Structure 1
Amino acid sequence: MKAVLFANTDWYLYNFRRALAMSLQRAGYEVLLISPPGPYGDKLRALGLRWEPVPMQRRSLNPLRELALLWHLVRLLRRERPMLVHGFTIKCAVYGSLAARLAGVPARVNAVAGMGYVFISPDLKARLLRPVVRGLMRLALGGEDARLILQNADDVALFEQAGLVDQAHIRLIRGSGVNCAQFASQAHTKPPGDGRMRVLLASRLLWDKGLDEFIAAIRQLRLQGCTIHALLAGTPDPGNPAAVPEATIRGWVDEKLVTWLGHVDDMASLLGSVDVVVLPSYREGLPRTLVEAAACGLPLITTDVPGCREVVSDGVDGLLVPVQNSKALAHAIRRLRDDPALARRLGDAARIKARSQFDERIVIQHTLEVYAELCDPATAPVESSL
């Protein structure tokens, strides 16, 4: 049985879905990964996975280019004849599903991690695109032979209220899964330093990840005489209209507000070297960074918004602050600095929650169960080692 996994970057496939792809192979599936070209394609191939580039431009609105992409996908699927196509993110879900329908693919699974730029940005461009994208989603994602995987209960309610997909075809699977044992092994490896609490924000460097509020909170703490070491990991995402300009980030560095680490491959080691992880995002599917940090036993500070509150229960395994509120964020950071016992308690509880709810074995098993719903149960293998 063959499955095609389609994402908008090869980086996403490598970092978030390679465990799923390898589990599918072990379960007896033939797996093809497709995405726009990039350096992680060769890394996927080095793992023994089959990967092919497709001519997709994430920000393109050119009708001819988009039709060419759709036709490319249709021809690819007709050639490969998979049993199932699994698309990740809204654009891949829509295009992959439309192509699958045209190519006669028997089953379609789509995973939408958050509502994305079109649904959360107040920009005029995003608001104009919204009804178009809604219409395409209704056309592409529906049908008895399709399932939609969402990562948090808020998005489930939103899709149901909007009538985008039949409620009976929505499945809630929290996150893309994290190897909790790998991250737990790096806990408490903080190197010797100057005694300042090390606070990390790790994400794509987008305004809607709360970067403006994070920097404002650091400024407020400095004015209060509260010295911390703020770290920023990640790079601007040129394919996203909400990307923070690199010049702005370098300005923060010159102002000595943050240490910018750029792209970090070894997140487990980085998380083992810090004291607190923050993510003041405006909305998420289910943020992997928070789950990875939780697996390390770190206290978390994030916003009380969809996705983030799936990972953190305020005062239980982290702290929640109002969205776009730098003052509350600064207060939460200072609270953990001034109360190490609270920070340890929250971190311990976060580790337990990560292992019991967000481990990759749980997520992969639930995903395989969705595949089995759509494929012949007699021929749809389930990996017994999970």
Structure 2
Amino acid sequence: MKIAILSSHTPSLFWFRLNMMKDFIIKGHTVIALGPEPKEKWEKKFEQHNIEYRQLYVERNGMNPLYDLMTFKFLYKFMKEERPDKVFAYQAKTVVYGSIAAKLNGVSEVYPLIAGLGSIFRGDGYKNKIVKTIMKIEYWAACKCSKKVFFQNQDDKNYFIRNYLIKGKKTIIINGSGVDLEKFKPIKLPKEPVFLYIGRLIKDKGIMEYLEACKVVKDKYPKVRCLLVGPFDSNPSALRPDELKPYIENGVIEYFGEQSDVRPFISQCSTYVLPSYHEGTPKTVLEAMAMGRSIITSDAPGCRETVVEGLNGYLVKVKDIKGLINKMEYLISDREKSENMGRESAKIAREKYDVKIVNKIIMQTMGL
């Protein structure tokens, strides 16, 4: 069969969905991946895995209805010409416009993934309320056009059901994107405490809380290292380079920019930190767990599922800098605790988040 995979972020399409697409191909299916970044940049990378890559016009964070109309027209034309047997879509705009475009062209096998609700669903204000209402209507339409809808956590699933966007029988829960246990393996902890954050530098992911906590921790424990990996972003809550600069210049954090392979950085850390406000299921946390790291993350949808409090890490309240500092200091003072938590993280990753298990559920649901 011909399967189309839609995303409004090409790097995540390649790094987060590659295992799934490869499993589709192993089963004998043809895969076409659609993302917004230039074909010249990504075509060869996808071709190495026998995946065809097409550039899709989409503004991931834009709110211009004319641009969104262009996205819909592109996807409508694609569905009409290619007639894929099945469609897998994730991220808001490709979920909405891809699902509707597919249905209008007679493609009934549409399987969106709701990989976390964005900042619009948590924001306040009149403008935010209008945009949220529009998004709810769009998600409702997308779910109506879909055969099944995947969710990565119970909170998001319940939100959709509670707001009448979908019926419970149409929903499927999966444990995030899974983690490749052959690629991410446990490795010995560094001699000194090292903290690490990996992700887009947007405030909704708790980047400011991490930076401020690191500032206090570094002042008290100068030998402790605080690492930061990830790109700047176009998101409305994105951190600006001039906002990050003082933390770098003052030696609070070591910034490494965007990296295609995060394993060398996870290897350097003893504890992985992600104080995000909301996630689907954070893949970087799963990767750190698989490599045997203790976790400090927020008690928020998508994040709380990855931690058994006190066993493989700690949960802190959203935006709670003092609570974050407290847990960081606790693990600085107790290396044995950090090591034990790391072992438990690796065990949980093996039992619950193996990408092979996650992909098996997706393929069974999609009839592959």
TM-score (norm 1): 0.91
Is 1:34 matched with 2:29?
no
Counterpart of 1:110 in 2: which secondary structure? strand
1:122 and 1:250 map into 2 onto residues whose CA distance is: 29
How far apart are residue 223 of structure 1 and its match? 4.2
User: Which position in structure 2 is the counterpart of 1:378?
Assistant: none
User: Which position in structure 2 is the counterpart of 1:83?
Assistant: 85
2:25 and 2:221 map into 1 onto residues whose CA distance is: 55
How far apart are residue 65 of structure 1 and its match? 2.5
Q: Aligned residue pairs: how many?
A: 366
1:115-149 deviation per Cα after TM superposition (whole angstroms, max 9, x unaligned): 01221234654332000010111112125x52110
- Counterpart AA for 1:83: D
Check conservation: 1:312, 1:320, Cα contact below 8 A.
yes
1:358 and 1:23 map into 2 onto residues whose CA distance is: 16
TM-score (norm 2): 0.95
How far apart are residue 327 of structure 1 and its match? 0.8
2:124 and 2:284 map into 1 onto residues whose CA distance is: 25
User: Which position in structure 1 is the counterpart of 2:60?
Assistant: 58
User: Which position in structure 2 is the counterpart of 1:346?
Assistant: 341
Is 1:330 matched with 2:331?
no
How far apart are residue 159 of structure 1 and its match? 1.2
2:43 and 2:233 map into 1 onto residues whose CA distance is: 18
How far apart are residue 109 of structure 1 and its match? 0.3
User: Which position in structure 2 is the counterpart of 1:377?
Assistant: none
2:295 and 2:75 map into 1 onto residues whose CA distance is: 41
Check conservation: 1:10, 1:41, Cα contact below 8 A.
no
User: Which position in structure 2 is the counterpart of 1:167?
Assistant: 168
- Counterpart AA for 2:106: G
1:134 and 1:215 map into 2 onto residues whose CA distance is: 33
1:174 and 1:227 map into 2 onto residues whose CA distance is: 36
Is 1:14 matched with 2:14?
yes
1:82-116 deviation per Cα after TM superposition (whole angstroms, max 9, x unaligned): 11111111211101111011111121100011101
- Counterpart AA for 2:296: I
2:220 and 2:66 map into 1 onto residues whose CA distance is: 55
- Counterpart AA for 2:332: R
Check conservation: 1:236, 1:246, Cα contact below 8 A.
yes
User: Which position in structure 1 is the counterpart of 2:307?
Assistant: 312
Check conservation: 1:316, 1:346, Cα contact below 8 A.
yes
Overall identity of the aligned pairs, in %: 28
1:244 and 1:126 map into 2 onto residues whose CA distance is: 20
User: Which position in structure 2 is the counterpart of 1:182?
Assistant: 183
Is 1:234 matched with 2:236?
no
User: Which position in structure 1 is the counterpart of 2:282?
Assistant: 287
How far apart are residue 60 of structure 1 and its match? 2.9
Q: Which deviates more from structure 2 when the two are superposed, residues 67-76 or residues 114-123?
A: 114-123
- Show structure 1 runs of 5+ residues with no match: 373-380, 382-386
Check conservation: 1:75, 1:103, Cα contact below 8 A.
no
Check conservation: 2:109, 2:147, Cα contact below 8 A.
yes
Check conservation: 1:220, 1:327, Cα contact below 8 A.
no
User: Which position in structure 2 is the counterpart of 1:150?
Assistant: 151
Check conservation: 2:218, 2:225, Cα contact below 8 A.
no
